[in-house]
Amino acid sequence: MSDQNRPMKGFHGMFNQELLEHFGKALDDLTEVYDDEAADESPGEILAGLEERGWHKEKDKFGDKRYITTSYPASSPPLSTDELRISVILRKGALYFDLRPWGQY
């Protein structure tokens, strides 16, 4: 690891029971549907499994997504965060994981 590495974009927020439950549900769902062989051979099956568990479906320029959200208050103005989104994205045959707040600046 380089001494010149710096933090990249990420989620920095207050931790509470609702957020812990949201992470727990996401990890439980991911644990139930994910397996390395399926990720390599048919990653769409993983997305389908998440959708069966109530994850939302969306497709945009970044890929085919499944995500779950929870409401989350902004920790400081001027941010007005509406939700925290956990996403799994299928892009060019590979799966990616994304965690970020969604809202307005």
pLDDT attached to residue 19: 84
Are the C-beta atoms of residues 65 and 88 closer than 8 Å to each other?
yes
| Strand, helix or coil for residue 16 | coil
User: What tens digit of pLDDT does each residue of 19-33 get?
Assistant: 889 999 999 999 999
> Domain coordinates of the chain in residue numbers?
17-104
Read off the pLDDT band of 6 (50, 70, 90): low
Task: DSSP for 50-105, please give it.
Answer: HHHTT-EEEEETTEEEEEEEEE---SSTT-EEEEEEEEEEEETTEEEEEEEEEEE-
Gyration radius of the chain over CA positions: 15
The position carrying tokens 């996403």 is 87
Strand partners, 91: 94
Q: Give 79-103 pLDDT, tens digit per residue.
A: 555 778 899 999 999 999 998 877 6
Amino acid sitting at position 28: D
